[in-house]
Amino acid sequence: MLRNTLLFIFISLSLLIFLAWIFSDIFLYLAFAIVLSSILRPLMRYLSNTQFFGLRMPKLLAVILSFAILTLLASSFVVLFIPLISEQVEVLSGLNYEGLYERFTTPLHNLEVFLISNDLTTQPGGFIVNSLKENIVEIISTIQFSNLLNAILSFTGQFFVGIMAVTFISFFFLYEMGSMRKKLIALIPNQYFEVTITAYNKIEKLLSNYLTGLLFQMFSIFSIAALGLSIVGIKYALTIALFAAVANLIPYLGPILGATFGVIVGVSTGVDITSFQSVLILFLKIVSVFGIVQIVDNVFLQPIIFSKSVKAHPLEIFIIIFAGASLAGIPGMVAAIPFYTILRVSFSELYEGYRSYNIFKIQKK
């Protein structure tokens, strides 16, 4: 009956959510593996279907080569940050800290003199600087560096374990996708077969379009930002553009992070920070470039990616993204649209199945 079917669906979804909550790490590994395998699948299919010297590449070799190409691209991206990091280390090691301390405290001393001379305070001279020193020392003393080191080591270990787990799972998703899909299909009851297969195909198509759109968006933002920053003479234009492209995966917050990173890198590497005019000009250059990037992204790229690929209204996207942010922060913002797409298509096909496929009416007979 209809009531039993709805109860079965509700229990199944509740059980799935409960297991995802209990085994959150494994669930995240599976989610990342699905995304990674979806990105690599077109490349793997192209390599396995292409003939080299009259021979087709074995599927195992195509999967390994796909991961090798991805690793090469990721390594080349990391290489872009090495010169920037080394320069920042040189800048920090060459700073005149005594001079910076005097520059920083001089305005505070002038403020103290003004307050004392106008009888606005009864504190002795140097009270602002001394209070600031005491607060900084107190903050540093509260930091337990042993716990901080343990936290860093723990995060590093979890990060590399996560990479290995995602790579391992993605490898089998790519290599055994056909057999895994057949086993999953065999588990579907006959009365739900048509609606399930239809929903699966639609979800796969929409998510594939969404991921392809995201890659196109990242490439477009990287190209526009790199070209614009190079034209206005900003150092490490490619590095800033790459960071901005990756950060733009975070809806609404990503553009702010990209522009902020660009300003920090530009000010720390390409201008005299003691000159307010130079800093202002550099700031305006970087903000202008990222303003153009955002106009292109908001007017052309996002409508194509969000509205067209997942076939959802912009207002739906806006609400879903902020709902994901309230539930899981930045990861929730990134995963909100794919998760919403899966739920929307599933319930839509379930409703169509009730109207057209008569899957519920079969049980009444």
Closest alpha carbon to 172 in 335, 69, 20, 36:
36
Query: Using CA atoms, how far apart are residues 351 and 361, in angstroms rounded to an integer?
Result: 13
So where are the chain's domains? 22-95+144-187, 190-365
Contact 355, 224 (CB under 8 A): no
359 has a pLDDT exceeding 50: no
Contact predicate 174/41, CB 8 Å: yes
SS3 96: coil
Mean pLDDT (the chain, rounded): 76
Cβ contacts of residue 271 below 8 Å, gap of 6+?
Answer: 278, 279, 282
Q: Which of 9 and 222 is assigned the larger pLDDT?
A: 222
Contacts of 348 (CB under 8 A, 6+ apart): 199
What are the tens digits of pLDDT across the range 130-174? 777 777 767 666 665 566 667 777 777 777 888 888 888 888 888
Chain centre distance of CA 298: 18
Q: What would the pLDDT profile of 45-64 be if each residue is shown by its tens digit?
A: 888 888 777 788 888 888 89
